[in-house]
Amino acid sequence: MASSLYRGRLGISMETDTLSYLSSLEEDVWIVKEDLLGSISHVLMLAEKNIINKEDAKKILSALLELWKNFPPILQTKEKYEDIHEYIENFVVSHAGIVGKRMHIGRSRNDQVALDLRLKVRKELVEVMRLSLEFMGSLLKLAEKYEHQIFPFYTHLQQAQLGLLSHYFLSYFDAFVRDFERLKFSFRITNFSPLGASAIAGTRIPLDRLYISKLLGFDGLIENSLDAVSSRDYMLDVLNSLNSLMLNISRMSEDIVIWSTMEFGFLEIGDEYSSVSSVMPQKKNPCVFEIARARCSKVISSYLYFTSILKGLPSGYNRDLQETKIPLINAFLATKNTLQILSKAVSSLKINEKNILKHLESGYIFAVDLAEILVEKFNIPFRDAHRIVGRLVHYCIANELKLTEIPENIFKEISSSILGKPIKLPTELRAFSTNPVEVLKKRRVVGSPSPKEISRMLSERKERLKKLEEEVYILSESLEKIEENVIENAKKFLGSSNRE
């Protein structure tokens, strides 16, 4: 049976199974460090403001620092404590003695956990940013490696227009830049300190909220005390940015799964990232990409789980909020793991140029290019050109011909039936299949997969990546410094004289 520091109001203590049901200790392991940083900062502030005396503060800080150095495994204590805050407070009281009970002055677990979560979330966000840049780096390398590799692009999963494989990788790079911006925005709205709000409506103890906010490197306060303990909406943005990132990853994974099939055979996944079948010896399964595709659902459901906890919840702190940690933990873990593995797995992709060319043999993929040549050469409306080419393709399919092999007389016949007079077959058509890059060279419009545009986009994106990497480096260094600084301040405080 459990005994608690907090249960003065109640007569009977809680049964262990009830406590175990309520306890968040398991997921609180996620915020241990943040909880300690928060408590250390709070105690430093209490001492600075002479709310507790230096001697007492030192005793409390040395117990907290002991935990910081060496946090014991706590999972087996789930039946004894409702959460990590209770566990740590008990530890402090048992190590610092009766003065440990002063640690919580002016603070509630409500603002305490709100602080811990914001500290943890901002750190996790920076880690996701770092990993996403790593992944984006892998995509850029592939774009560079296959800069000139021609590739069919699909709409409705039907061959649509010819492009370059580099264009594909660059398209996802750009999508991940937007996800990066979402992560950055999430960081911005996370980085405010709720501490000092107490349970819900502030405290008469003269705390210095700004002292803590500054010490912990926040951009300011969640000022309104009710808002500070109630609000978790920032997590919606966090989960949404992870969601968007994972949705992009899952779509990419699906492409890779499709293109690695025997039927397409455009690429092969490295053996080290492939699985086999226990029955069918011929199989090489794209399991890493399938799991990535599915792992996305964990993030989607985390968003849903989280939103449904918030829906209709009364203002103020409610214990339901404890459960919001679970979707956050799951979503961050799924995203980080996926990014880590996929950065390596995509680098293992080998392109099969021969198969790609084989799929382009019919030449139908050049239909739009041909129609546009007709528009340019003969000054005919695009709708007429579209009709002519549509009829040509129809004829080719019926007669098992490639578009590039269309007989001159058929071209004349079809064009004159639509235009009222025949036109000449453009000479470029015959060379489409043998020299497809020439076709791409003509697509000069910004953002098209012409070799020139690709080369421009590629070098721009490389610069962009470098800048983003610098940003993340600075951000993660500054978070590390903040932690070191809090611990240093606590150690200095311990070494200072009690009379200073």
Nearer to ligand ARG, 309 or 458 (CB): 309
Nearest Cα neighbor of 472 from 222, 137, 9, 200 is: 137
Residue 230 lies near ligand ARG (rule: CB under 6 A): no
Find the angle CA(270)-CA(334)-CA(328) to the nearest 5 degrees.
Answer: 170
Stretch binding ligand ARG (CB under 6 A), from 59-67, 315-323, 371-379, 474-482: 315-323
CA separation for the pair 404, 34 (Å, rounded): 66
Which residue bears the tokens 């409610």? 318
From the list 13, 94, 148, 277, the catalytic residue is 277
Buried b (16+ CB within 10 A) or exposed e, 42-54: bbbbbbeeebbeb
Write the binding mask 62 to 91 for ligand ARG: x where contact by CB under 6 A, - elsewhere: ---------------------x-x------
Phi, psi (5° rounding) for residue 267?
A: -150, 165
Residue 3 to residues 6, 16, 72: CA-CA distances in angstroms? 9, 10, 20
Q: How far is the CB of 19 from ligand ARG (least distance, A)?
A: 12
Buried b (16+ CB within 10 A) or exposed e, 275-284: eeeeeeeeee
Nearer to ligand ARG, 138 or 324 (CB): 324
Nearer to ligand ARG, 118 or 293 (CB): 118
Residue 109 lies near ligand ARG (rule: CB under 6 A): yes
Nearer to ligand ARG, 83 or 89 (CB): 83
Residue 44 lies near ligand ARG (rule: CB under 6 A): no
CA separation for the pair 194, 310 (Å, rounded): 18
Residues forming a β-bridge with 158: 155
Q: How far is the CB of 116 from ligand ARG (least distance, A)?
A: 8
Stretch binding ligand ARG (CB under 6 A), from 64-72, 314-322, 334-342, 346-354: 314-322
Residue 322 lies near ligand ARG (rule: CB under 6 A): yes
From the list 3, 156, 278, 497, the catalytic residue is 156
Amino acid at position 27, single letter: E
Residue 195 lies near ligand ARG (rule: CB under 6 A): no
Q: How far is the CB of 110 from ligand ARG (least distance, A)?
A: 5
Residues forming a β-bridge with 332: none
Catalytic annotation on 156?
A: yes
Binding site for ligand ARG (CB under 6 A): 24, 83, 85, 109-110, 113, 317, 319, 321-322
Catalytic residue positions, numbered: 156, 277
